Structure 1
C-alpha cells in the first residue's frame, strides 16, 4: 500500500489550535453567544480534506455538535469515543495581555480562550486523525469522534442533547476519553506525575428563594425575605463538610505522597497538598463536598422591602456522597428558604484498571521515561456525565507535558490562558501511540 505523504500531526497541531481559538465560541449560558456552528463546520472541513465523512447536529440555532466514526481493524470489538467540546467561557479583551481570540504564539505558548479548555485537545484529536487517515492507518477498533457544543453550561445542548436524541451515534461505545487529564505535574527526581481523570464530582447548581411580606423600608418587618435568604447563604457558604476519602482521591494522595517523600496520613490527607503547588486548589476540593454562593438578587428600590429574594449556589458532591450532601443542604437552608436546580448532574467514578488505562500509561511512558501516571478526581464536571448514561466508562486524557512553573489549573477559565507549543507536540505523539494500543 502506498502511504500518502503530507504534514504530520506535529506539523499541524499548533496551526489547528490557533485557528480554532480564532473562532469565537463563547458560551454565556443563555444563547446570547455566537454558538459553535462555525467551529463545527471548520472541523467538518478538516475531516473532509482527509476523506472522513461527518455529520453536524444543531440542537438550537447556532448550537452545533459534530460526530464522525472511523472504522477500526476489528469492527467486531467495542468502540472507543474520543470527545472534546467546541465552546469556551467568555473573555474580555481588556483583561488579557493578548487578544483572547487571537491565537497568538508568544513565550513558547499558544495564547487564547480555549487554549487549555479545550481547543488544545480538539486540535490534537484533529491533527492525529488527519495524519492517520492520510497514511491509511486504522485504529485497532472503531473510534467515534464527537466535537460538542455547550459543555461550559452543562451540556444540555451538546452531549446531553445527543445522548437523548441520537444515542445510535454511539452504538458499540463502551469507553470514552475526553478532558481533563493526562497533564503533567513535576515532582522530585526529574519525574512527572500525569494525572488521568477517573472520577469527577457531581454538580448541584441551585436557586434559593425566600418569600416575605413586601412593605415600606422604614417599618418593622420580621419576615424580611432578604434577611432570610442572606442568612441561608451565610450558613451554606461558611459550612465545611467532613473529609471523605473516595477510592480515587486516596489512590492519588498515596502516590503523590510517595513521589514527594511525604508520609501519607489518612487522618490528615491535606498534609501533602502543600507540596503540589497551585494544583492543590483543585485536588483539595475533592476531599469533601463543597458549597459556594455565587449570586444574590432582591428588590428594586432602597426603601421598598421586596416580596422575595433569591440566591444561587454552586454545590459539588463526591461520588457516593450525594444523599449526605443534600441532607446537609436542606438542614442548613432551614424552613424559610426553598431550593430548585439550575443544573443537576451525577458524580462519576471509573476503575483505574484494564486495557484502556494500560494503553494510556504505556503511551505516556513511551514519550516520557520519567512518567508516573496516577488517577485523580476532577473537582468540576465534563461531558463524560452524559456519556456515562449510555454505560460508558469515562476517562480524562488530554496529554500534555508541562513546564513546572506553569499554573495549569489556573488556566481553566482564567486570564491569559495558554498552552505550551512543546506540550501540543508531545500530546499528539502520546495520543497517536494511545490509539495504536487502544
Structure 2
C-alpha cells in the first residue's frame, strides 16, 4: 500500500468528533477513533490493545520491538480527544477535516491529531521498508487529556502501569515546532523549543461566606463583596521571577543566537530584548493565578450567603509551598480555599543524550535551526507518566511557515496545521525514533 499521505491521515482523524466536555463527560467518546488508530497499527504489523475505564472512553497501547533489548524503551504518548468548537465561529466546519490553502483545517489539527497522524505515518513507512528502531517504542494514544486524564493517562498509570514500567523517557506534546524571530543584525533565526519542564496545576476554589439577606438592606457581611475584593487583590498581585533550569537554559542558549545579552536582574528588560522569542518563556518566568469562574446568588434582590470563584493556578517547579502561603496572605481573612485539581510540576534534565538526539533530528532537516529547552506554561499527560519516574519531554516536531502563528491555533477558532509542517514532522520523528 505504501506510506499514506500524512495530511490525509490527519484530516481523517479530525473527522472523528472526539469533543471532551470536561467534568468526566465526552460528546461521543474516543472509541471510534481508537479503533481507527488500532487498525492502522495492525496494518503496520503491531498488536495494539484497547483499554477503557468506561465504555467509549478508549485508549490504545502498542509496542514496537527494537533491535537491542538491552536498551530502555521510549514512550510516545498522544491524546485523541479535543476541546469543544463552535461551528458558527469557524470558516470551515471544525470536524470536516478540510485540506486547502496548504493547511489541514479542523479541531485538533495542532492539538494533537497532527502528532497522531505523523506517528502512524512513520509506522507505515517502517512497515513498508522493514525498518526497526534500536530500542522498543511504547505507543500510547490516550483519551481525556483535555480534562483530568482520569479516563486516559492517569487511569493507565494507576491500573496498567506494567505497560510503561520499563520506559526510561517519554515524548509528547508540545515542542519541536518552529519559532521565527530575528537576530539583532536583522537575520532571521529559527528556534525549535523542546519542552523539558512544565508548570504544575493547582486549580483552586475560593469561597467566601457571609450573611444572606434582602438586596435592599445594608449588609456589612456580603459574601460577594468579600470575594470580589479578595480576587481583585489576587489578580493585581505581581508574582516574583523564578527561573527554573529549563528557562535559564533557554536564555543561555537563545540569547547568543539572537545577539543579545540577558539582563538577569531585570527579566522584563530581557523579555523586551528577546522580541518575538519572548513568547516561549514569558508565561513561565513566574507563577500565575488567574481568576476564571465566578459563582454566587440566584436572584437580583437576594444577597447570597456564599460566593465562590475558580482560579487557574500554575506552579513552577519547587515553588508550591511558597505560592500557597502567599496566596493566603494576599487573600486575607474570610476566604477559604480548596484544590479542584492538583498535579505537580514536571521537570526533566536538559543536558542528556535524549535532548541531543531530538536536536540532531531537527537539525537534520533544518540545519540552521537552533534547538533550545523551555518550560511549558500549561500541562500535558506528562504529569501522569512522570509519576512512574519517566523523564518526560515535549517533542512533537512541526515546521511552521512564515506569517502563521502556531501558538494561537491550539483551542482557537480556525485551528489548522501546515501540510509542509506535517511532512517535516514525519521526517524528524522517523529520524529520532529510529536512531535514538
The bucket for the TM-score relative to the shorter chain is: over 0.9
Cα distance in 2 for residues equivalent to 1:414 and 1:393: 29
- CA 1:68–1:160: 2 relative to 1, 3 Å: same
State the match for 1:16 in structure 2. 9
Alpha-carbon distance in structure 2 between the residues aligned to 1:64 and 1:186: 37
Match of 1:69 in 2: 63
Are 2:330 and 1:332 equivalent residues in the alignment? yes
Could you tell me which of 392, 413, 420 is aligned with 2:390? 392
Please tell me whether residue 196 in structure 1 is matched to residue 194 in structure 2.
yes
Task: Give the structure 1 partner of residue 78 of structure 2.
Answer: 84
Structure 1 distance, partners of 2:377, 2:168, is 24
Cα-to-partner distance string for 1:329-377 (whole Å, 9 max, x where unaligned): 1112222111112211111111112221121111111111111110001
Q: Does the residue aligned with 1:28 lie in a helix, a strand or coil?
A: strand
In structure 1, distance between residues paired with 2:339 and 2:29: 24
Which runs of 5 or more structure 1 residues have no equivalent in the other structure? 1-5
Decide whether the 8 Å contact of 2:180 with 2:277 is kept in 1. Answer: no
Give CA-to-partner distance per residue, 1:193-213, whole Å, 9 cap, x none. 111000100111111111112
In 2, are the aligned partners of 1:260 and 1:275 still within 8 Å (CA)? Answer: no
Shift of 1:76: 2.5
Query: Does the CA-based 8 Å contact 1:25-1:86 persist in structure 2?
Result: yes
Look up the SS of the partner of 2:227 in the other structure: helix
Q: Report Cα offsets for 1:34-73 as digits up to 9, x if no partner.
A: 2211111110111112221111111223221111111110
Could you state the TM-score of these two structures normalised by the residue count of structure 2?
0.96
CA contact (8 A) 1:114 1:417 kept: yes
CA contact (8 A) 2:19 2:26 kept: no
CA contact (8 A) 2:181 2:275 kept: no
* Residue 205 (structure 1) aligned with residue 200 (structure 2): no
The aligned residue for residue 313 of structure 1 is 311
Matched, 1:303 2:301: yes
Query: Is residue 179 from structure 1 mapped to residue 173 from structure 2 by the alignment?
Result: yes
The 8 Å contact of residues 185 and 404 in structure 1, kept in 2 or not, is answered as no
Kept in 2: contact 1:257–1:272 (CA 8 A) = no
The equivalent of 1:7 in structure 2 is 2
Relative to structure 2, which stretch is displaced further, 401-410 or 264-273? 264-273
Distance 1:307 1:93 in 2: 39
Counterpart CA distance in 1 for 2:245 and 2:63 is: 34
Alpha carbons of 1:163 and 1:309: their partners in 2 closer, same or farther (altered >3 Å)? same
Alpha-carbon distance in 1 for matches of 2:404, 2:18: 25
How far apart, CA to CA, are the structure 2 residues paired with 1:257 and 1:171?
38
- Which structure 2 residue ranges, 5 or more long, are not aligned? none
Q: 1:181·1:196 contact (CA, 8 Å) conserved in 2?
A: yes
- Alignment pair present for 1:40 and 2:34: yes
Aligned counterparts of 1:147 and 1:275: Cα–Cα separation in 2: 40
- Compare 236-245 and 383-392 and name the one that shifted more: 236-245
User: Residue 276 of structure 1: CA displacement?
Assistant: 5.6
Counterparts of 1:37-436 in structure 2, within 5 Å, are 37-188=31-182, 189-274=187-272, 280-281=278-279, 283-436=281-434
Q: C-alpha distance in 1, partners of 2:276/2:108?
A: 20
Corresponding position of 1:3:
none
Q: Distance in 1 between matches of 2:373 and 2:318?
A: 17
Rounded Cα–Cα distance in structure 2 between residues aligned with 1:367 and 1:78 = 26
CA distance in 2, matches of 1:400, 1:388: 24
> Displacement of 1:412 after TM fit?
1.5
Note the C-alpha offset of 1:140: 0.5
Report how far residue 404 of structure 1 moved. Answer: 2.8
Inter-CA distance 227–61: structure 2 relative to 1 (3 Å threshold): farther
**3-state SS of the aligned residue for 2:21?**
coil
Distance (Å, rounded) in 1 between the aligned partners of 2:20 and 2:133:
33
How far does residue 117 in structure 1 lie from its aligned partner after superposition?
Answer: 0.7
Shift of 1:428: 0.4
d(CA) in 2 for partners of 1:76, 1:38: 36
Q: Is residue 2:14 matched to residue 1:25?
A: no
Tell me how far apart the structure 1 counterparts of residues 27 and 276 of structure 2 sit (CA, whole Å): 31
